[in-house]
Amino acid sequence: MFLAVREIRRTKARFAFLVTAVALLTFLILVQQALQNGLITAFVGAIRAQSAPVLVYSVDGQRTLQGSVVEPALAQAIARVPGVAAAAPIAQRTFTASVDGAGPSNAALFAYRDAALGGPGSLTAGRLPRQAGEAVGSAQDFALGDHVRILGQGRSPAITVVGLAADAQIQVTPTLFVRWSDLVAASRAVNPDAGAMLPGAIGVRPVAGVSGAVLAQRIDAALPQADALTRDQAAERTPGVAQVRQSFQLIFLLFALVVPLVTGLFFLIVTFQKSRSLTLLHAIGAEPRRLVSSLLLQVLAIVGGGIALGTLLYAPLSQTTVGSLVLRFDPRSVLVWAALLLALGLLSALTAARRVLRIDPVEATTGGGGR
């Protein structure tokens, strides 16, 4: 230990370089993790934030609210499945809107007939809509009292934000939870030829004693045209979520690969450079185990220091927003990545440790230690 610490103190610049490299990699990993979480929340937050425990799409809709159309016969059949306590329609469409007279932007209207089956589950401010023309907006995009006008060819309906919900975006678009009539009015405004507004999904509540998962299975078994999912399943299985996760996992894999590569090669080079000293130490009685412990201690200190520094850099950034994505400090991610990177760092030092163990003290008398 004494040797390990002394060496770090003597060659500060070299070890500081590696600490900085590990810190930067840790910082990048944690930022990417926060971006992934923020992106998925912005993609399906409204589905998680809505109040219906079970969502039933039509099979044709392929688990997207905007793509699914539940025809009246199917909606009635869903309501009749044993175990259904209540059922109500939900629909979502994206429009071009103007907020408080500003330039055009996108706005998704998430419409419900029953606030307990498709309305926002909880609010961070304000109240639920009491009448047509009122909405609960996604908290990062709207403020209480905002006036939103849907831009279309017909008479543009105006919507006032009376409540706010956290993490309530859908399709990475500013989202407004509105009453059914507001969605119908908005659709007519952009398309005067529009026919009946059919639900994209049916929000369902199970009777007491039946879980959402069991009810979803019952509905699927009873109705071949229905695709029933619990709230969490509906969020996770929305097309695109798995692809986002896979893309980020590939990035994480690459980062996780770099840390042991850099650390391993660094310590191998260092071991090569000081092989003469190590041979001499071995020749005068230093046990190989002690030399390896010293090496591993350095790996722990360097990787640990890098992780700590990377986390410190990440902490202030995790309190900010990137575009409309809200980043959050996730202690679980930090702990998991810290443990993984430490383990990989130690694993990567094995080659260097092997080299230390193979040192032959006789070489101290022949000058072979330098090779």
Size of the site for other proteins (CB under 8 A): 49
Task: State the nearest-atom distance from the C-beta of 203 to other proteins, in Å.
Answer: 18
> Is 43 among the residues that bind other proteins (CB under 8 A)?
no
Measured distance CA(364)–CA(371) in Å, rounded? 11
Residue at 257: amino acid letter: L
* Min separation Cβ 287 and other proteins, Å: 26
The count of C-alpha atoms lying within 13 angstroms of the C-alpha of 38, restricted to the half-sphere facing its C-beta, is 21
Using alpha carbons only, give the angle 136, 140, 144 rounded to the nearest 5 degrees.
45
Q: Which residues pair with 93 in a beta bridge?
A: 109
Nearer residue to other proteins within complex by CB, 225 or 293: 225
Tell whether residue 350 is a contact of other proteins (CB under 8 A). no
Q: x-or-dash pattern for other proteins, window 88-127, by CB under 8 A?
A: -----xxxx-------x-x---------------------
Provide CB contacts within 8 A for 255, sequence distance 6+: 25, 28, 29, 32
Residue of 103, 108, 156 whose CA lies nearest to 135: 108
Q: Which range binds other proteins by CB under 8 A, 68-76, 82-90, 116-124, 312-320?
A: 68-76
Tell me: does residue 195 bind other proteins (CB under 8 A): yes
> Which pairing describes strands 134-138 and 158-165: parallel, antiparallel, or unpaired?
parallel
Nearer to other proteins, 166 or 262 (CB): 262
Sign of the CA dihedral with 78 first, then 84, 86, and 90 last? negative
3-state secondary structure of 359: coil
For other proteins, the binding residue among 265, 312, 336, 357 (CB under 8 A) is 265
Residue 95 contacts residue 186 (beta carbons within 8 Å): yes
Residue 290 is a binding residue for other proteins (CB under 8 A): no
The string over 84-97, giving b where at least 16 C-beta atoms fall within 10 Å of a residue's C-beta and e elsewhere, is beebbbbbbbebeb
17 binds other proteins, rule: CB under 8 A: no
DSSP class of residue 368 equals: G
Dihedral sign (CA 276, 279, 284, 287): positive
Does the footprint of other proteins cover residue 153 (CB under 8 A)? Answer: yes
Interacting span for other proteins (CB under 8 A) from 46-54, 69-77, 228-236, 301-309: 69-77
Does residue 59 belong to the site contacting other proteins (CB under 8 A)?
yes
The stretch among 75-83, 140-148, 189-197, 333-341 that binds other proteins (CB under 8 A) is 189-197
Candidate ranges 55-63, 133-141, 298-306, 358-366; the one touching other proteins (CB under 8 A): 55-63
Q: For residue 242, state whether it binds other proteins (rule: CB under 8 A).
A: no
Considering only residues 214 through 233, tell me which ones interact with other proteins, judged by CB under 8 A: 224-225, 227
Residue among 92, 86, 75 nearest 52 (CA) = 86
158 binds other proteins (CB under 8 A): no
Binding site for other proteins (CB under 8 A): 58-62, 67, 69-71, 74, 93-96, 104, 106, 151-153, 187, 190-198, 224-225, 227, 247, 250-251, 254-255, 257-258, 261-262, 265-266, 268-269, 272-273, 370-371
